[in-house]
Amino acid sequence: MSNKSKSILLMIGSVLAFTLMTISIKYSGDLPIPVKLLFRNLVSLLVTFWALKQSNTRLLGLPQNRKYLFYRSLLGITGMGLFFYSIENLHLTDASILSKLSPFFVTLFAFLFLKEKIKKYQIISLIIVFSSAMLVIKPRFDLSILPALGGFIGAAAAGGAYTLVRFLNGTEKPATIIFFFSLISLIIISPLSIYYFEIPSANQLIFLILIGVFATLGQFGMTFAYRYSAASEVSFYSYIHIIFAALADYLIWGEVADSLSLLGGLLIIVTSLIIFLKNKSS
């Protein structure tokens, strides 16, 4: 199997794992979000700790990188918390569409803060994608907008976190970045988890553990996908998440996102495909 084929299969596997994570979040019931975040990061911390110890790699990264690892962790936990909130209060399809705005925020933030060049077609794609997001958010002046707005802000925070990952690329191993993120997340989440703690049922406990397992599998699957091929060759396949989420909505809960959300999601997928093909040809 070629490296490109391996990369595509790993990306699709990663997307499937993340979809199963979102389903597990739904099935874990009405437990407080900090409790769900605790389990999500605890599993990831244990797995990355073992991986780093096996390779005898520095756990906390290089001293000069630690402030950037810390900022990445703050943005990451903010984005994750808002993503969990949007999953619990929106159709899985809507939450997934909004989460897929993060790569476009990376383009914007890399231009603003890393001084990377931005091309004309990227500017046009940003305008189209953020306009498409409004079809999912459906701006209105009442509290019902909060879950969708949270998903949008969460995607922006995740985009900021991924921008810092790009900045750290080449100086820190992916497992170090994930470990640092999980550690800081647990430090932040633990007091909230204790304050809001509710004893989960046996069924809820299973799904809490699965949140962490699937999230970790998804994270490592994506990491290895980018190791085997350039991001420009495989990044588009992550948008299959929207299709998986729509199928889960329909098959599990018998729900279908409304026509405006589906149109917004389709525009985002098509725009991503055009950028994907443009990057491949350049």
Quickly state the pLDDT bin for 230 (edges 50, 70, 90): low
pLDDT band at 219 (very low <50, low <70, confident <90, very high): confident
- Domains of the chain: total: 1
Per-residue pLDDT tens over the stretch 14-72: 999 999 999 999 999 989 999 999 999 999 999 999 989 998 888 899 999 999 999 99
How confident is the model at residue 175, as a pLDDT? 87
Alpha carbon separation from 203 to 19, 20, 158, 207, 217 (Å, rounded):
19, 16, 30, 7, 21
Note the pLDDT of residue 55: 86
Q: How far is CA 65 from CA 20, 46, 62, in A?
A: 33, 22, 5
pLDDT band (50, 70, 90) for residue 282: low
Taking phi over 0 as left and psi of -120 to 50 as alpha, with beta for the rest, 91 belongs to beta
Give the domain range for residue 207. Answer: 3-281
What does pTM read for this prediction?
A: 0.91
Q: What pLDDT band is residue 126 in, cutting at 50, 70 and 90? A: very high
CA 122 to chain centre: 21
* CB-count exposure of residue 53 (10 Å: 0-12, 13-18, 19+): exposed
